[in-house]
Chain A
């Protein structure tokens, strides 16, 4: 599904530069649920951004679903993001003047689907996250957990190969966090490949594999026995 080798990335800071990723090798298979852990500054978000094509590596290879990702034009990156990736953010990143249904339908709009088709698909995914009754509510009328579920529905709408979650539970309390994790586990059970960036051990323990980063290198990469979130709820 995903293969990264010798990935380097540095950011210029004034005259010097900050070497954030120092040769990352990582491969993820279909159906995996991987937690990327590390303290802040370890490079975990940078790695996720490169995987999400929101940022480009300085050197190294990145192959997504057999497709080498390099020298992307903005247009190409937009198409790939739309086709391959679903994003879930810590701060949800819903568009505040669009209701839940419209938010979920947005990636489908950029896929060029017809309005009716968009509506149907968006409704289907909203139902999946249990929020069909809230379809016409604005984000400001939803709770944090509901917002994140709308965001998940939006990430799923375009039927991506890979779900990327950047601290998906960072803004939520424990109970709601576990609800969200239970839902992500459910999606993984159905076969979705999921990458989660987190710094919380309990969230990481709910994944099937934990990759620990420190100072831009992978310190540890191990499979774990998944803790089912449902047990905690």
Chain B
């Protein structure tokens, strides 16, 4: 089917009518460029959300306590609720399979010293499961383990930036660090994708913190992840029942918003998922719309071209051109213009994304780009679009009667 002469004819026709060709290609360039940029930005938004949720496991539930705001069962408002180890064990034992990971958290602020370097850091005293709840990546050594908890050992796992701040160029692992006057052995160093603050943290066993800071069994917060086999609705039901049970346990009014708060990431995840789906649909519709506008534009201009070339087509027919050759002439011209224009649009679009992409970070757009597979399917769609755009005009051209065409002055 490859006919060099046919191509020569088409290139001659395109070349001799450059302005016309450029104009007809312009709509497609614009449509594809818009489509690419929109798609890239949507991808960028998706990346931002993916990154935001990468820090915490997205099936997390946070249980926090505060002061009651409502009087209940003879107890006055303003009562401070304090979790203890027995509450942690209650949640853990009561829910069994429904919980994937669970950890307590105690927050402390310490002054850390190593040789001449000194700085203030937040300490989180946790259970070993905490590592999975926060997506903590231990790069050297290990995380807190059960033995640390059982034996209340004075060990810590420090963030990458703590190591950088205090240990300068030397290795922190295995060394002793002074936290507000007490020496702890560093058993691990971690990284966290959650940002710099997450890497300026120090983890220690929850039991050690309880022993050292007050010799009690207090817990500030309990974090857990629900069994990932639960869907969003089951997860939300689970956290609701958990909240209800805890409020009963501490004699807090059901409507009290402050005494105990159970925050379920599933709710946010569900909303974000829905939003991303809607965003995807919107982008798809807008993209398709621009693409269709481009196709209609090409089709329109091809019809105009056929009209303009009516006489030429008549001459060709009088000289013996068969309908088939007229159809392929118009069709291939249309496909060629569409494909080349579309490709230019794609290049401009990806170029724009590359150029302005990094500066869009502050608008919640991270690394906006289009994938190779999208580029390939777009190219196929373009050839298809060109065929579609050229078909009607080509059919129309092939039906032109030479006698009518030749009369057309």
Enumerate chain A interface residues (CB-CB to B < 8 A).
49, 52, 54-55, 74-75, 78-79, 81-83, 87, 89, 91, 93-95, 97-98, 102, 106-107, 109-111, 115, 154, 158
Give how many A-B residue pairs fall within 8 Å (CB-CB): 65
Whether A81 and B5, one on each chain, are in contact in the complex, defined by CB atoms closer than 8 angstroms, is no
Whether A49 and B403, one on each chain, are in contact in the complex, defined by CB atoms closer than 8 angstroms, is yes
Partner of B320, one of A49, A83, A102: A83
Whether B406 and A54, one on each chain, are in contact in the complex, defined by CB atoms closer than 8 angstroms, is yes
Whether B402 and A54, one on each chain, are in contact in the complex, defined by CB atoms closer than 8 angstroms, is yes
Whether A97 and B325, one on each chain, are in contact in the complex, defined by CB atoms closer than 8 angstroms, is no
Whether B5 and A95, one on each chain, are in contact in the complex, defined by CB atoms closer than 8 angstroms, is no
- B305-320: CB near A (< 8 Å → 1, else 0) gives 0000001101111111
Q: Which residues of A contact B359 (CB under 8 A)?
A: none
Whether A154 and B13, one on each chain, are in contact in the complex, defined by CB atoms closer than 8 angstroms, is no
A selection of 29 A-B contacts at a CB cut-off of 8 Å is: A49-B403, A54-B402, A55-B403, A74-B398, A75-B322, A75-B323, A75-B324, A78-B317, A79-B322, A81-B317, A81-B318, A81-B319, A82-B319, A83-B320, A89-B406, A91-B409, A93-B315, A93-B406, A94-B315, A95-B312, A97-B16, A97-B17, A106-B316, A106-B319, A109-B9, A110-B319, A110-B320, A110-B322, A154-B319
> Nearest Cβ in chain B — how far from A56, in angstroms?
10
Closest to A74 in B: B323
**C-alpha spacing A190/B49, complex, angstroms:** 86
- Interface majority SS (helix, strand, loop, mixed), chain A: helix
User: Does B321 lie at the interface of the complex (its beta carbon under 8 Å from any beta carbon of A)?
Assistant: yes
User: Does B12 lie at the interface of the complex (its beta carbon under 8 Å from any beta carbon of A)?
Assistant: yes
**C-alpha spacing A82/B317, complex, angstroms:** 9
Closest to B325 in A: A110
Given contacts A54-B402, A75-B324, A97-B13, 12 further A-B contacts (CB under 8 A): A54-B401, A54-B406, A74-B322, A78-B322, A78-B323, A83-B320, A87-B318, A87-B319, A91-B409, A97-B12, A109-B9, A154-B319
In the A-B complex, the 7 residue pairs with the smallest Cβ-Cβ separation, listed nearest first, are A82-B320, A97-B16, A110-B320, A54-B403, A107-B319, A78-B322, A93-B315
**C-alpha spacing A35/B336, complex, angstroms:** 47
Q: Which residues of B contact A106 (CB under 8 A)?
A: 316, 319
Q: Which residues of A contact B324 (CB under 8 A)?
A: 75
- B1-42: CB near A (< 8 Å → 1, else 0) gives 000110001001100110000000000000000000000000
**C-alpha spacing A54/B318, complex, angstroms:** 7
Instruction: Point out which of B9, B13, B317, B324 has the most chain A C-beta atoms below 10 A from its C-beta.
Output: B317
Whether B5 and A115, one on each chain, are in contact in the complex, defined by CB atoms closer than 8 angstroms, is yes
**C-alpha spacing A91/B323, complex, angstroms:** 24
Whether A109 and B323, one on each chain, are in contact in the complex, defined by CB atoms closer than 8 angstroms, is no
Whether A95 and B315, one on each chain, are in contact in the complex, defined by CB atoms closer than 8 angstroms, is yes
> Nearest Cβ in chain B — how far from A173, in angstroms?
20
- B291-317: CB near A (< 8 Å → 1, else 0) gives 000000000000000000001101111
Q: Which residues of A contact B12 (CB under 8 A)?
A: 97-98, 102
> Nearest Cβ in chain A — how far from B244, in angstroms?
81
Q: Which residues of B contact A93 (CB under 8 A)?
A: 311, 314-315, 318, 406
Closest to B315 in A: A93
Known: A91-B409, A97-B12, A115-B5. A107 touches B320 (CB 8 A): yes
Whether B320 and A79, one on each chain, are in contact in the complex, defined by CB atoms closer than 8 angstroms, is yes
The B383-409 residues at the A interface (CB cut-off 8 A) are: 398, 401-403, 406, 409
Q: Which residues of A contact B316 (CB under 8 A)?
A: 95, 106, 110
Closest to B324 in A: A75
> Nearest Cβ in chain A — how far from B312, in angstroms?
5
> Nearest Cβ in chain A — how far from B373, in angstroms?
41
Closest to B16 in A: A97
**C-alpha spacing A91/B320, complex, angstroms:** 19
Q: Which residues of B contact A81 (CB under 8 A)?
A: 317-320
Closest to A138 in B: B16
**C-alpha spacing A49/B9, complex, angstroms:** 27
Q: Which residues of B contact A91 (CB under 8 A)?
A: 409
Q: Which residues of B contact A83 (CB under 8 A)?
A: 320
> Nearest Cβ in chain B — how far from A96, in angstroms?
8
Q: Which residues of B contact A97 (CB under 8 A)?
A: 12-13, 16-17
**C-alpha spacing A165/B398, complex, angstroms:** 25
**C-alpha spacing A102/B316, complex, angstroms:** 12
Q: Which residues of B contact A110 (CB under 8 A)?
A: 316, 319-322, 325
Closest to B4 in A: A115
Q: Which residues of A contact B325 (CB under 8 A)?
A: 110
Instruction: Point out which of A78, A81, A98 has the most chain B C-beta atoms below 10 A from its C-beta.
Output: A78
> Nearest Cβ in chain B — how far from A24, in angstroms?
18
**C-alpha spacing A49/B402, complex, angstroms:** 10
**C-alpha spacing A104/B359, complex, angstroms:** 60
